[in-house]
Amino acid sequence: MKVDVGALVDGVRDGQRAAVARAITLVESSKRERREAARELLTTLTADPGSGVHSPAVRVGISGVPGVGKSTFIEALGSRLTAAGHRVGVLAVDPSSVRTGGSVLGDKTRMAQLSADPHAYIRPSPSAGTLGGVARATVQAMSVLEAAGYDVVLVETVGVGQSEVTVAGMVDTFLFLTLARTGDQLQGIKKGILEIADVIAVNKADGDHEGEARVAARELASAMRLVRGHGEWAPPVVTCSALHDLRVDDVWDRVLQHRDHLGADGLADKRAQQQLDFTWALVRDELDQRLRHSPGVRAIRDGVRAEVLAGEIPATLAADRLLAAYDQGSEEAREVPEEAGEI
């Protein structure tokens, strides 16, 4: 069924939740005809963003170890923000189901209060099995939410390593949630996250565990002095309890402080660099799609697969054959118009 892009644009700009849902579904689609409609949708939405007097939406990436309470924190923070007059969009990047390709965590079920808030919109989005899927779908979904008038966009990551780096490259501020009792907050495995974190919060700092949380915060603050160079933004380390709604506002204040630190020019430069990085991400994603749908590649794919599985050829030779088949198909496609013109 052909997508009525004009009607969808009007619905998104009017803030209609059904239109927002359809628009995000469209930009998440991997079908070629829907991808073309998605490009038209996004081009129209971003070509005329409105009066231009409003500041850009606050984009915050939120990550943390499994069980740290990301969904609980987002619900507590989101509820505070909507009560203060903000419109909050939440994109929860879920692992994709191996069988259906859909989201498997279902964050809306863990944010019952916020999902019922008329000033909030929660969208669990499948990661499409690849970091490229995260980059393409999530960046474009953020654009849809901002066009619909959501002035705060929170992106929750799956928390599986490289996805944090991907999400950090598409938001203004990256918030890392951790726990006091994990025992690994200072190990090398976390160093990569510490290098990209702009704000760090030790969650579940309540009751008997508050003292432990404060100790962990001090240790992390010391670690940050080793990770970050002199003169750079020093990521603040704070404690909070999302479950009991304690000091959640303090975490948000630190996010706004980081935004103020960037300033208007710094934020514009960061967004511009992110757009450039996203451009190349789109190029890589499109090339991947073209490679998969190439007639030449499809013709030899099963044979190459069988040879690799049988150990008859190494992966390097298999890759060379697939790329050669794609290149040959591309050259033949370029030659067709020239031949047609000579007839």
pLDDT in tens, 77-107: 999 999 999 999 999 876 544 344 444 445 5
Q: What does the pLDDT average to over 254-281?
A: 92
169-178, 232-241, 324-333: least confident range: 324-333
Distance CA 245, CA 195 (A): 28
Average pLDDT for 6-18: 94
Per-residue pLDDT averaged across 269-273, rounded?
A: 93
pLDDT category at 134 given cuts 50, 70, 90 is low
Phi first, then psi: give them for residue 126, nearest 5 degrees: -65, 145
pTM to 2 decimal places: 0.84
**Highest mean pLDDT range out of 147-161, 255-269, 280-294?**
255-269
Mean pLDDT of 271-300: 89
180 in Cβ contact with 213 (< 8 Å): yes
Mean pLDDT of the chain: 83
Contact between residue 167 and residue 133 where contact means Cβ atoms under 8 Å apart: no
Reported confidence tier of residue 190, pLDDT bands at 50, 70, 90: low
Task: Name which residue leads in pLDDT, 192 or 16.
Answer: 16
Domain ranges (residues) in the chain: 54-263, 294-342
337 pLDDT above the threshold of 80:
no
Question: At 162, is the pLDDT very low, low, confident or very high (cuts 50, 70, 90)?
Answer: low
Nearest Cα to 61, choosing from 156, 191, 177? 156
CA pair distance 121, 78, nearest whole angstrom: 10
Q: Strand 88-94 to strand 173-178: parallel, antiparallel, or no bridges (unpaired)?
A: unpaired
HSE-up of 270 (CA within 13 Å, CB side)? 19
d(CA 64, CA 240): 14
- 105 vs 179, higher pLDDT: 179
Indicate the range of 171-175, 204-208, 320-324 predicted with least confidence.
204-208
If pLDDT is split at 50, 70 and 90, which confidence band does 191 have? low
Measure the CA–CA gap between 23 and 11, rounded to whole angstroms: 9
Lowest average pLDDT, out of 150-154, 247-251, 286-290, goes to 286-290
Amino acid at 64: G
Q: According to the model, what pLDDT value does residue 107 have?
A: 54
Q: What is the pLDDT of residue 188?
A: 43
Q: What are the tens digits of pLDDT across the range 241-258? A: 999 999 999 999 999 999
pLDDT in tens, 34-51: 888 999 999 999 876 443
CA distance 135 to 157: 11
DSSP letter at 64 equals E
Could you tell me if 169 and 193 are in contact, meaning their C-beta atoms sit under 8 angstroms apart?
A: no
Predicted confidence at residue 342, as pLDDT, reads: 41
**Cα maximum dimension of the chain:** 85
Closest CA to 227 of 200, 254, 196, 199: 196
Instruction: Return the pLDDT at 335.
Output: 65
What is the distance between the alpha carbons of residues 24 and 144, in angstroms, rounded to a whole number? 7
pLDDT at 64: 85
Q: What is the pLDDT of residue 216?
A: 87
User: 54-263: which CATH topology?
Assistant: Rossmann fold (3.40.50)
Give the per-residue pLDDT at 101.
Answer: 44
Nearest to 185 by CA among 222, 235, 229: 222
Residues 6+ apart with CB under 8 A from 167: 61, 63, 93, 134, 138, 155, 157, 174
Evaluate if residue 312 carries a pLDDT over 80: yes
pLDDT at 249: 96
